Structure 1
Amino acid sequence: MSNKSSKLEFIDLSMNGIENLTFILFKGQPNLKYINLNRNKLQKVTFDVSRLKSLRYLDLSSNNFTTLDEKAMVMFDGLFKNTNFTVNLQKNALLCTCNTLPFLKWISITKVNLLLNDKCYLEDGIGFSFYPINSLIQQVQKGCMSYTTLVIALSVGLLFILTIIILALVYKYRWKLRYMFYLAKSKHYSYKASTDDGEYTYDAFISYCDDDRAFVLKDCIANLETEGNAKLCVHQRDFIPGQEITVNITNAIHESRKTVCIITRKFFESYYCMFEFNMARMENIYSRDGRNIIFLVFLEQIQPKEMPLMMLELIEKQSYIEYPNDEEGNIVFWEKIKEAIHS
C-alpha cells in the first residue's frame, strides 16, 4: 500500500484477529477517509496515520484497548486540524485508573470526536460512568491521591523499620565494626588468626587510666618486666608518636599475647580505657580463635552492679585478681599476673 497515486478511500481490516499493525502500513494513502479495524485484538496504536490528511473515521471498536498512549493522542489531535476526525473506541474495556488518568484528561479537552462506552472500569472490574468526564477525573484523582499517600506512608514506614533494624545491627556489632575498621587502618590488614604464642611482640599490653599511671610505671614495670622478664606494652612509653591513638591501641592489643586491664572506677569513666577493653574483647573473639586474652586487675573494691556485663562474664571465668592489702598477698598477686600473662 505504498503507491503515491493511490485513490484508495476505504480500508476494511475488521474481524481478522489482528494483534499488531506495522508503523508504515498506511503509508502512501493520502486519500484514505475511512479505516475499519473493528473486531480485532489490538491493544495499542502501533500504526502511523499522521500523514493521512483526508482521514475522517478510524474504527477501533471491539478491540482490546484499555487506554491510548501519548503518541496516539498527539497524532489524533493533529489529524483533527485537517478534518472533522472521529475515533470509535466503543466496546473496548477502557480503564479509569491512575495509569490512564492522562487519557481521561485528554478525553475532556480534545476536539477529536470520540465514540465511547457509557462506562470505564477499574482494574477489579467495577464500572464508572464516563460522563460527566470531569467528575470522573476528580474521582480518579482522589483515589490516586489516597493510593499515593498509602504508598508514601508504607515506603516511609518500611524505610523507618529498615533504619531501625540497621541501627540495631550496627549497635549490636558496633565493637566488631570498630575493631575491623581500626585493624584495617593498621599494618595488620591482612592478618590471619594466630595460634603461635611466639609471634607476639609483647607479652602483655597494660590498659589503665591516667590516675593509675604511677602503679603501672612503678609497680607493674618493676615486678613484671624488670623482675619477671615480661615484655610489656605501656602506652606512655611504647606507642608510636604521631600515629592515631586508636590505631596505636589496636596495634598494641594485636601485638600482645595478653591485655591486662588495671580496673578502678576511673577506668569505667575513661573513654579510651573502655575502648581498649572492648577492642581486646574483639581481638579475643575474631583474631584469637575465642581464646581469652584479657586479665583484670582490681585495685579497688567494686560492686558487680557498677561493672559492665561483659566484664562480669570475665570475672565468672576467674580471669581476674584483686590487689591485696598485705605484703604476703602482694607476692601471690604478682605471681598470678605473671602466670596469667604467660598462660
Structure 2
Amino acid sequence: MRWIYLSKNNLIEFDHRLAHMSFLNVLNLSENRIYTLSNTLRSDLDDIVSSRNNDTLTADLSKNFIACSCDNLEVLEWILEHTAPTSNLLSVKISTCYYIHNISALPSPIAIWTKNDLVYQITFLQKFCTSYSSLLITLVVILFVVVNIIVASFIHRLRWKIRYWYYVGHSNDTTSNDYTALDNSLRFSRFKYAIYLAYEEDAREFVLETLKPKLIQFEYVVFVHDDILDGLPLCNVLTKSIHASRVVVFILSNGSRQSLEWNIAAHITNEESNYRGKPISLAMFYNSDSTQGLPENLQLLRHDAFIDYPRNGSDGEITAFWEDLKTKVNVIVKTT
C-alpha cells in the first residue's frame, strides 16, 4: 500500500493501524471533519518513516476541523514538528484550526498558511493553557480551603451538640460500672438520678458533707463528680450522667471560672435542656457572687434559676434556703 485517499468522507476520526504499511507514501485525509489525531495514528506514522532511509510520507489534513485547544496542544506540537520545512521524512499538512470543539457551530477558521502561523498559534496556546491550568489549580485549592473552613466553622459551632448526640447515642452501652450502684426502683426509670451536682474542688467539702446529705435526706438520688470511677472518659461520663438526671445543680465557686470540666458540664446541660425543650438547671452561689467569667450557657440562665447559699446566715436563713432549693428542684422535676 503506497497511497490512501480518504478525502471528502465526513470522517470525524481516523484510528486505523498503519504501522505495517512500510511503503506508504501518501495518506490523504483532507476535507473531512477530523479535529484531533490519536496517539495510535501518530505513533504508526512515526514508525513507518523511522524504518526507511529516504522515502517521504505525506499526511494531508488540510481543510479539517483541527482544534486549537489546550486538550489538543500535544497534537499541534507534533504537527509542528512535521510541518515543512522539516528534516523529518514525515510531512504533515494542515490549513486551518478552530478554537472550539463544537463542530456543529464553528466560528471562522484560523488560517495556517505557513509554519510560522502554526508556531504563533501554539505559542499562544502554551501561554494560555499554562495560565489556565494555574488558575484552575488555584481555584481548586481556594475552593478546598473555603469548604474546609466552612465545614470546620460549622463543626466548631455545633461541637457541643455533636458531642452530646455522640455520647447520648452510645448511652445504651452504659453499665453500672460507669457510676455508683443505683436503687432497683430507679433502674427502669427514664432518669437514673434526680439531681446531678456540678462543682469544683474548692466546693467539694461543702457538696459531700453538707449539700449531698441534705438532698438525700429529701429523698433525692444524687450523682456527684466523686462518683465517677478513675480512668473513665470524663466527657462521656458527664454527658451520660447529665442525660440521666432530672435536674443539674451547678455550685458556683471561685474554682468554677477556670475549670474545663465544669465548663463541659455547662455546655452539655445546655444541649440537654434544648433536647427536653425546658430548663433543667439551677445555679447555686457558694463563694462567688458574680457571673462574670462564667460559661456563657450559665450567664443565659433565667434570674430565678440562681440561688444564694447563706454561708454565714442564721439558722432561719439556712432553713429557708433548703426549702427554696427543694421548691426550685421540684418545679423542674415535675416538668421532666
TM-score, length basis structure 1: 0.79
Q: What residue is the counterpart of 2:39 in the other structure?
A: 70
Q: Give the secondary-structure state (helix, strand or coil) at the position aligned to 1:46.
A: coil
Q: What residue is the counterpart of 1:252 in the other structure?
A: 241
Q: Give the alignment of 1:91-130 within 5 angstroms.
A: 91-110=63-82, 111=88, 112-117=90-95, 119-123=96-100, 125=107, 127=110, 129=112
Judged with a 3 Å threshold, the aligned counterparts in structure 2 of structure 1 residues 128 and 115 are, in CA distance, closer, same or farther, namely: closer
Question: Equivalents in 2 of 1:46, 1:302: separation in Å?
Answer: 87
Count how many residue pairs are aligned between Structure 1 and Structure 2: 300
Query: Which of 296, 307, 325 is residue 309 of structure 1 equivalent to?
Result: 296
Question: Equivalents in 1 of 2:291, 2:255: separation in Å?
Answer: 15
Query: In percent, how many aligned pairs have the same letter?
Result: 26
Q: What residue is the counterpart of 1:16 in the other structure?
A: none
Does 2:326 match 1:338?
yes
Q: Give the secondary-structure state (helix, strand or coil) at the position aligned to 2:67.
A: coil
Judged with a 3 Å threshold, the aligned counterparts in structure 2 of structure 1 residues 59 and 128 are, in CA distance, closer, same or farther, namely: closer
Task: Please state how far the C-alpha of 1:283 moved relative to its aligned partner.
Answer: 2.1
Task: Note if contact 1:202-1:232 (Cα within 8 Å) is conserved in structure 2.
Answer: yes
Task: Note if contact 2:68-2:97 (Cα within 8 Å) is conserved in structure 1.
Answer: yes
Can you give the 5+ residue segments of structure 1 that lack an aligned partner in the other structure?
Answer: 1-31, 190-195
Q: What residue is the counterpart of 1:223 in the other structure?
A: 214
Q: CA RMSD in A?
A: 2.5
Q: Give the alignment of 1:156-167 within 5 angstroms.
A: 156-167=141-152
For residue 295 of structure 1, what is the amino acid of its counterpart? L
Query: Which of 156, 171, 182 is residue 171 of structure 1 equivalent to?
Result: 156
Task: Note if contact 1:121-1:128 (Cα within 8 Å) is conserved in structure 2.
Answer: no
Task: Note if contact 2:251-2:285 (Cα within 8 Å) is conserved in structure 1.
Answer: yes
Q: What residue is the counterpart of 2:198 in the other structure?
A: 207
Over residues 214-250 of structure 1, what are the superposed CA-to-partner deviations in whole Å (9 max), with x where a residue is unaligned? Answer: 110122123211x2111111121x2134322222222
For residue 153 of structure 1, what is the amino acid of its counterpart? T
Query: Which of 309, 321, 335 is residue 323 of structure 1 equivalent to?
Result: 309
TM-score, length basis structure 2: 0.81
Question: Equivalents in 2 of 1:265, 1:88: separation in Å?
Answer: 90
Question: Equivalents in 2 of 1:35, 1:265: separation in Å?
Answer: 95
Moved more, 245-254 or 203-212: 245-254
Q: Give the alignment of 1:283-298 within 5 angstroms.
A: 283-286=272-275, 289-298=276-285
Judged with a 3 Å threshold, the aligned counterparts in structure 2 of structure 1 residues 52 and 98 are, in CA distance, closer, same or farther, namely: same
Task: Please state how far the C-alpha of 1:151 moved relative to its aligned partner.
Answer: 0.6
Q: What residue is the counterpart of 2:103 in the other structure?
A: none
Does 2:256 match 1:267?
yes
Task: Note if contact 2:263-2:295 (Cα within 8 Å) is conserved in structure 1.
Answer: no
For residue 126 of structure 2, what is the amino acid of its counterpart? Q
Task: Note if contact 2:13-2:34 (Cα within 8 Å) is conserved in structure 1.
Answer: yes
Judged with a 3 Å threshold, the aligned counterparts in structure 2 of structure 1 residues 199 and 243 are, in CA distance, closer, same or farther, namely: same
Does 2:22 match 1:50?
no
Does 2:71 match 1:87?
no
Question: Equivalents in 1 of 2:306, 2:189: separation in Å?
Answer: 24
